[in-house]
């Protein structure tokens, strides 16, 4: 493994680079030989037929010899391309002395005639990786007698709508609408709904005179006198007259003493604010003072006298009502404004409660999702994040160049101009596809370079990596930190991987932003195939995008 820190590539002596590359190459070859010898001893692959007709099925068999406690992972999915896997059979286990032979069969087919190669398959045994041999298969046409078979016109292309992502989006939208509907229904039922009034609420809405009459009637229905509970009886009786006077005549009647209340009534009578006789004031004073004696001096008047005091209060309430002047239009208007103001305050109170509950539910939802998925993920979901949208959006698997590089990307890569001089085009043929650029948050490039008139394959992948680094430096990339290691694709293609960090140009000329990069290099005959990835240093979503892309790369060794 090679480490180079904080350098400009052209500043490194070339002989040192060649020395490190040679040592790495020797180590890599020894390692490959060791793995291949081990793999032959433990993994075998075979097919029952090397030649089939179009659509005919063949059985591909993988045999693995392993210990009884070993963890073996067989290939899954469409890893047999260009042949198509149509069926996977259960694993057969055969005991062989102290070890076990695990046999797994796959049903493969192909619907186009030609010569095909089943690529190497990757098998993982515990923490080691093994590859099977590639196998050639010939697919022949089915001979038809066109003189006896009726021919039909080609059917037109039918557009197929993709509904997976839409259905997922509609599902989450439905969940959100249901949650909002439940919250709105609860707020309406408990807060905004016009609820039926209780008996106490209905009485509270009555005018003071009618409220006093209802209170006297309830006092008659009580059993205070039967129980000779005169203290409670007189307490309620005096509260009724005091409450009425407090609301209609003397606004300090509830907290005043008996003498203070009577003095206040006399003052109002003298100022002609109430048409009340002296006898009425005297009757009210007599009842209040008798009540004071009962409550504070433990006096015990006769029950009949208590009933008489009740009738006296009833009569005096009538006299007070008759002695009050009629309210003026201004007073009526003020009363209506007061009621309107009270209604406005009540609605405002409900509105604030609704807002508070909504904010609480929103904060609780954000906190809940943040605890489960992380705050950054929730924030990026609500506000939006370019890399997150790429990661969770629709992906595309396509082939680029010839021989083809199969790769899955969040966006379809567009062909880019090679910008080669005419003299260079006579020596090499370049096909380049990409998305984004070096100044963007995420950038991916697939490059295929075919060298013409190459007598023998003497291309060194280390030299290609070196030229790639020099190209980055020429484009203004600085402080390159790189590390190289072998890389194997899921279909068994082997190449070289260079990766690390560097300072890339940004939107502003004088400012550079640190970012990650990865360069993959493969050699197929006289063709060099490269995949270049660049993404921001602090972008966790882009890191997942890169991992997914790297796990999707497949290299075809021959044009088919």
What tokens does 118 get?
Answer: 């089943």
Taking a C-beta distance cutoff of 8 angstroms, is the pair 19, 489 a contact? no
DSSP-assigned beta bridge partners for residue 2: 484
C-alpha torsion angle, residues 496, 502, 506, 511 (rounded to 10): -160
Distance CA 118, CA 137 (A): 7
State which CATH number among 3.30.460.10, 2.60.40.10, 3.40.630.180, 2.40.240.20 fits the domain covering 42-140: 2.60.40.10
Residue 28 pLDDT grade (very low, low, confident, very high; cuts 50, 70, 90): very low
pLDDT digits over 231-268, tens only? 999 999 999 999 989 988 888 888 999 999 999 989 98
Count the neighbouring beta carbons within 10 Å of the beta carbon of residue 402. 14
pLDDT at residue 173 above 80?
no
Mean pLDDT of the region 270-289? 90
pLDDT at residue 315 above 90?
yes
pLDDT, residue 408, reads: 92
The winner for highest mean pLDDT among 191-205, 320-334, 532-546 is 532-546
Which of 505, 495, 454 is CA-nearest to residue 475? 505
Residue 450 pLDDT grade (very low, low, confident, very high; cuts 50, 70, 90): confident
pLDDT at residue 169 above 60?
no
> For the chain, what is the mean pLDDT?
80
Taking a C-beta distance cutoff of 8 angstroms, is the pair 414, 433 a contact? yes
Taking a C-beta distance cutoff of 8 angstroms, is the pair 130, 35 a contact? yes
pLDDT, residue 159, reads: 60
Residue 150 pLDDT grade (very low, low, confident, very high; cuts 50, 70, 90): low
Mean pLDDT of the region 84-111? 85
Lowest mean pLDDT among 172-181, 308-317, 450-459, 490-499: 450-459
Topology (CATH) of 199-321: 1.20.120
Hey, what CATH class is 394-555 in?
alpha beta
Please list, in sequence order, all residues whose beta carbon lies within 8 angstroms of the beta carbon of residue 358, skipping any fewer than 6 positions away.
183
Count the neighbouring beta carbons within 10 Å of the beta carbon of residue 477. 21
Query: Whole-prediction pTM value?
Result: 0.43
Residue 291 pLDDT grade (very low, low, confident, very high; cuts 50, 70, 90): very high
Taking a C-beta distance cutoff of 8 angstroms, is the pair 87, 36 a contact? no
Distance CA 355, CA 104 (A): 62
| Domain ranges across the chain | 42-140, 199-321, 330-383, 394-555
Mean pLDDT of the region 420-430? 76
pLDDT, residue 34, reads: 33
pLDDT digits over 473-510, tens only? 888 888 888 899 999 888 888 899 999 998 888 767 77
């Amino acid at each position: 493994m090679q480490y180079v820190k904080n350098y400009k590539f052209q500043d490194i002596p070339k002989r040192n680079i060649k020395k490190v590359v040679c040592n790495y190459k020797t180590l890599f070859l020894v390692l490959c030989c060791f793995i291949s010898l081990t793999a032959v001893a433990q993994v075998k692959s075979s097919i029952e037929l090397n030649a089939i007709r179009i659509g005919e099925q063949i059985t591909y068999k993988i045999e693995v010899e392993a210990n009884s406690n070993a963890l073996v992972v067989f290939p899954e999915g469409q890893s047999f391309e260009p042949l198509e896997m149509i069926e996977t059979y259960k694993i057969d286990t055969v005991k062989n002395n102290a070890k076990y032979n695990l046999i797994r069969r796959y049903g493969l087919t192909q619907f186009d005639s030609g010569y095909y190669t089943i690529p190497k398959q990757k098998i993982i045994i515990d923490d080691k990786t093994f590859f099977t041999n590639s196998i050639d298969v010939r697919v022949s046409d089915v001979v038809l007698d066109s003189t006896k078979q009726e021919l039909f016109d080609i059917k037109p292309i039918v557009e197929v709508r993709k509904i997976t992502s839409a259905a997922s989006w509609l599902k989450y939208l439905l969940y959100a609408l249901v949650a909002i509907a439940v919250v709105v229904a609860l707020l309406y039922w408990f807060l905004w709904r016009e609820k039926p009034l209780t008996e106490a609420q209905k009485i509270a809405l009555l005018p003071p005179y009618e409220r006093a009459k209802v209170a006297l009637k309830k006092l008659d229905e009580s059993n205070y006198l039967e129980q000779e509970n005169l203290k409670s009886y007189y307490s309620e009786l005096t509260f009724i007259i005091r409450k009425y006077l407090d609301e209609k005549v003397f606004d300090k009647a509830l907290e005043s003493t008996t003498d203070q209340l009577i003095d206040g009534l006399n003052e109002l009578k003298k100022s002609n604010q109430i048409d009340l006789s002296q006898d009425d004031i005297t009757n009210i004073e007599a009842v209040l003072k008798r009540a004071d004696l009962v409550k504070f001096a433990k006096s015990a008047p006769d029950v009949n006298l208590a009933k008489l005091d009740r009738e006296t209060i009833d009569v005096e309430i009538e006299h007070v009502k008759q002695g009050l002047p009629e309210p003026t239009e201004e007073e009526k208007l003020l009363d209506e404004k007061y009621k309107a103001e009270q209604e406005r305050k009540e609605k405002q109170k409900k509105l604030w409660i609704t807002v508070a509950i909504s904010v609480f539910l929103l904060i609780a939802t954000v906190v809940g999702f943040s605890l489960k998925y992380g705050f950054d993920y929730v924030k990026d979901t609500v506000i939006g994040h370019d890399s997150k949208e790429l990661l969770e959006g629709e992906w595309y698997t396509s082939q680029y160049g010839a021989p083809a590089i199969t790769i899955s990307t969040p966006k379809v890569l567009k062909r880019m101009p090679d910008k080669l001089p005419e003299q260079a085009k006579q020596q090499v043929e370049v096909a380049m596809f990409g998305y984004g650029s070096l100044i963007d948050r995420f950038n991916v490039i697939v490059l295929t370079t075919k060298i013409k008139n190459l007598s023998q394959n003497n291309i060194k992948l280390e030299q290609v990596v070196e030229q790639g680094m020099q190209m980055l430096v020429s484009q203004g990339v600085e402080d390159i930190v790189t590390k190289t290691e072998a890389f194997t694709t899921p279909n068994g293609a082997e190449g070289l991987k260079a990766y690390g960090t560097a300072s890339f140009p940004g939107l502003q000329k004088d400012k550079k932003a640190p970012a990650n990069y990865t360069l993959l290099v493969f050699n197929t005959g006289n063709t060099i195939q490269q995949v270049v990835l660049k993404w921001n240093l602090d972008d966790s979503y882009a890191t997942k995008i890169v991992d997914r892309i790297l796990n999707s790369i497949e290299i075809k060794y021959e044009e088919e």
